[in-house]
Amino acid sequence: MTGIAAAEFARQASTEHAQTLSRPSLSYWQDAWIRLQSNRRALVSLFIVISLLILTLLGPVLWSVNPAAQDLDQISVPPGRDRSALVVAEYTPWVIPAGTVAELQLADTATTQSVRLQWAALPGAYGHRVYRNLYPVGPERAYGIPLGEFFDNSTLNFEDRLDLRPGTYYYSVVALAENGRPGTVAETLRVDVRRTTTVNEAVAQGLVGSAADIAVGDSLQVALHPLGTDYLGRDMLARLMEGARVSLFIGIIAPFIYVLMGVVYGAVSGFAGGKVDQVMMRFADFVVALPFLLFMILFKIAFGIGPGESGIFPMLIAMIVLLWPATARLVRGQILQIREQGYVEASKLLGAKSSYLIFRHMLPNTLGVVLVTLTFEIPRAIFTEAFLSFIGMGVAPPTPSWGSMSNEGIKTMLNTPHELIFPALLISITVLAFNLLGDGLRDALDARMRNTE
Amino acid sequence: MLWYIGKRLIQGLITVWFIATATFFAMHNVPGDPLLNERATTPTIRANLEAKYGLDQPVTTQYFIYLKNIVRGDFGISFAQENRQVNDIIREHFPVSAILGVLAVIIAAVGGILWGSLTALYRNRLPDYLIMFLVILGISVPSFVIAAISQLGIVTLNNLAGTTVLPVAGWGTIFHMLVPALVLGLSTMAYLTRLMRSSMLEIVNSDFVRTAKSKGVPPARIFARHQLRNAVLPVITVLGPSIAAITTGGFVVEIVFAIPGLGRFFVEAVQQLDYTVIMGTTVFYGTFLVFMVILVDVIYGFIDPRVRMS
């Protein structure tokens, strides 16, 4: 070894540079939050979810209409309909005017109180039958529903008071043949029916302060229903908000409880391992194998619903009893994986107790997966509630839920689509928002699932 | 493999016993009296009926009578419909549900695999966005709304065509089955499409696909032999639970489309509190589902040897 003297070695100045991190360190949750913020779909969903929760909690304060109150003047009214009503006198029986008329015509103003028709005897008629239709009578002679029949020509007038609503009706008078069957000769009249109310009704409904404020012939505005009314005249907006409380209560509380149960069960099973783990998981397997919807229905009838009960709690309990195993399996799998991780071993070597291991290392590391599961279980629970209420096995009427409202709305879907559209739309939006939020959370929290979509 | 099948079958039998037991005790807990009818029964008739159904025995004895009857395949006589055996009801109405369900599963599986691979191949291009939009719609809209809307669609179609292209409701020909099966399979199809897409995306970037490409294997062959066959595995695993979802989802579709299937019968039986029909149908459906899941698992075991090893 020659040629290199000790003096030729020089100490280099050490720099701090190599040891400083270029970026501040982020915790798991800070990182997840930043990732979530960059996901626009998830953010919009989060916003929707929060507004739904606000609507549920604050809605009944802002729109304090009783969801069970019936407005019999406005049944199945779609939103945005003209609300003006004519004030008329109390109903008095029709004094039929003497004399004849030339053709089918109104004898009086057509109002929701009554429609009074007069006509001349049709050629060759042995009597007449009066029909009413919501649509024009086409070439297929769709006259609508028969209202009255007269088997001679002495009565040439008819008063209709059957469930009249503001709008257009088509009245037809059809000539009857000698055998009493309707012939081909007919006359049709288009009638625009005006909404009316009486002074007493207006006062009783609280539309005006006192009877002195209005007089016959005045026009006033009937009660406002921003989203219309249902088939019993109940306010849709109030019912939707009340239904949101039911649907979201079941949809959020039930998953919360059974996911928590699953976490505890899975964590115990995974941590204990061995025989205990096997027995616990076999039991979970059996519960998973139960056909879920059949047993939901079975449990619901087994718990029974007394008079005046809504059936929310039986449904909640049935869901909790049946749905915990999925989370339990998931958490157990996670715990089994984490148990073998280097940092857990290291912690053990440093003398950590089991409780410290569970609470410091294992549960926090499963939290991300659990949170994602929870967000996916919520739409599932909302769907289950809606499904059961739809087949009549869910909440009992008159308690509104979005599912039971859809069930009622679907029966009159052609004539009054708003009764189906609003609850169905709310279910869809809620489920969609939770699904997208779940996707976003999974991307943000679960490193392995990242960038697959 | 035989050992694996045997193990699964024994597990299945225990599960069926568990289902039967849960059903029995749940139904036993139902408030009310099965023999309380509008027609007043004299104490003698009542005693005879109780003796016939074993209702005068303690619960444990009733339970063993019930188990014995199930083992013999006898679900008893309907309480609500006179002179009808539960077995007859199942025999008559289950085939309808089964045909509908099988059709729905086929539609869901074929559609899911097809759309899923398409979205993965056209990732972040128009077909991908379009299909994924429909998938999200299929997952978010409740089945009863889709059923009602599709019925409306059929009516409009028939009106436009001037003749009956597709029947709106009922049962009988293949045309009666198409739309209900599609509606029934839709949410499963949406779910399978998502699953297929993510598993396909993993495969597309894998080493063996790159190797095949660099060897000059034609793209169609890579797709059929290397990508599809590997990507389809996770889809097959969830097919078992999907069959369960589709079978019970049949309740709504059978009600909306007026199809005389077992699901509709079950809902009616629950409304009438027809004890024997409810219990019989639940146990029957449960058994059916358990063995369907086992069947799918066994098939999966044949395809993927890793399963039966573990």
Same domain? A252 vs A348: yes
- Domain end call among A177, A198, A219: A198
CB atoms within 10 A of CB B272: 14
Which of A286, A301, A407 is the closest to B18 by Cβ? A286
Q: Are residues A113 and A166 in the same domain?
A: yes
Which of these three, A180, A198, A216, is where a domain ends?
A: A198
Tell me if A17 is assigned to some domain.
no
Taking CA–CA distances from A431, the nearest residue in chain B reads: B140
Same domain flag for A143 and A177: yes
- Residues of chain B with Cβ-Cβ distance to A410 below 8 Å are 144-145, 148
Helix (H/G/I), strand (E/B), else coil: B184: helix
Amino acid in the structure at residue B204: V
Tell me the average pLDDT across A79-86.
76
Amino acid A262: pLDDT:
92
Q: Is A221 within a domain?
A: no
Q: Which residue range is the domain that position A108 belongs to?
A: 87-198
Residues A372-390 pLDDT 10s: 888 888 988 988 888 888 8
> Is residue A91 domain-shared with residue A165, that is, in the same domain?
yes
Domain count across chain A: 2
DSSP SS3 for A219 = strand
Least confident of A199-208, A400-409, B83-92, B198-207: A199-208
**Is some CB atom of chain A closer than 8 A to the CB atom of B18?**
yes
- Say which range, A50-59, A155-164, A186-195, A308-317, has the weakest mean pLDDT: A308-317
Which neighbouring-strand residues pair with A158? A117
Residues A251 and A378 in one domain: yes
Judging contacts by C-beta atoms under 8 Å, the chain A residues touching residue B202 are 452
Q: Is the pLDDT of residue A258 over 90?
A: yes
pLDDT for position A7: 79
How many pairs of residues across A and B have Cβ atoms under 8 Å apart? 116
Q: Is residue A326 part of a domain?
A: yes
- Any domain includes A33: no
pLDDT at A334 over 60: yes
Confidence of residue A452 (pLDDT cuts 50, 70, 90): very low
Pair A114, A152 in one domain: yes
Q: Could you tell me which of A426, A277, A247 has the C-alpha nearest to residue A339?
A: A277
**Which segment, A114-118, A203-207, A219-223, A299-303, is predicted with the most confidence on average?**
A114-118
> Residue A2, Cβ neighbours under 10 Å: how many?
4
Are both A110 and A258 inside the same structural domain? no
Do residue A265 and residue A118 come from a single domain? no
What average pLDDT does range A128-147 have in this prediction? 86
A105 phi and psi, to 5 degrees? -150, 165
The verdict on A280 and A375 lying in the same domain is yes
Same domain? A170 vs A297: no
Q: Do the domain assignments include residue A95? A: yes
A237 lies in the same domain as A128: no
A182 and A109 within one domain: yes
Average the pLDDT over A69-75 and give the result: 76
pTM of the model: 0.80
DSSP string, A5-46: -GGG--PPPP-SGGGS-SS----HHHHHHHHHHT-HHHHHHH
Domain end residue (candidates: A152, A178, A198): A198
Confidence of residue A257 (pLDDT cuts 50, 70, 90): very high
Q: What is the CATH number of the domain that holds A323?
A: 1.10.3720.10
| pLDDT in the model for residue A256 | 93
> How high is the pLDDT of residue A453?
43
Grouped pLDDT means (10 residues each) for chain B, 310 residues: 84 88 84 64 75 78 85 80 82 87 90 90 85 86 86 86 78 81 88 87 84 89 84 79 75 85 84 83 85 81 66
If pLDDT is split at 50, 70 and 90, which confidence band does A399 have?
confident
Contacts of A197 (CB under 8 A, 6+ apart): A73, A85, A86, A87, A88, A205, A207, A220, A222
Cα–Cα distances (Å) from B123 to A200, B114, B117, B203, in that order, read: 67, 14, 10, 13
Kindly report, residue by residue over A273-283, the tens digit of the pLDDT: 889 988 998 88
pLDDT beyond 70 at A16: no
Answer whether residue A323 is part of any domain: yes
Look up the CATH number of the domain holding residue A127: 2.60.40.10
Q: Which residues of chain B neighbour A428 with C-beta distances below 8 Å?
A: 140-142, 145
Answer yes or no: is pLDDT of A451 > 50: no
* The token pair that represents B225 in the structure block: 């032999």
Q: Is the ipTM of this complex over 0.90?
A: no
- Give the per-residue pLDDT at A254: 92
The mean pLDDT value for A279-288 works out to: 85
In a domain, A191, yes or no: yes
- Helix B275-303 to helix B86-121 angle (10° resolution) is 40
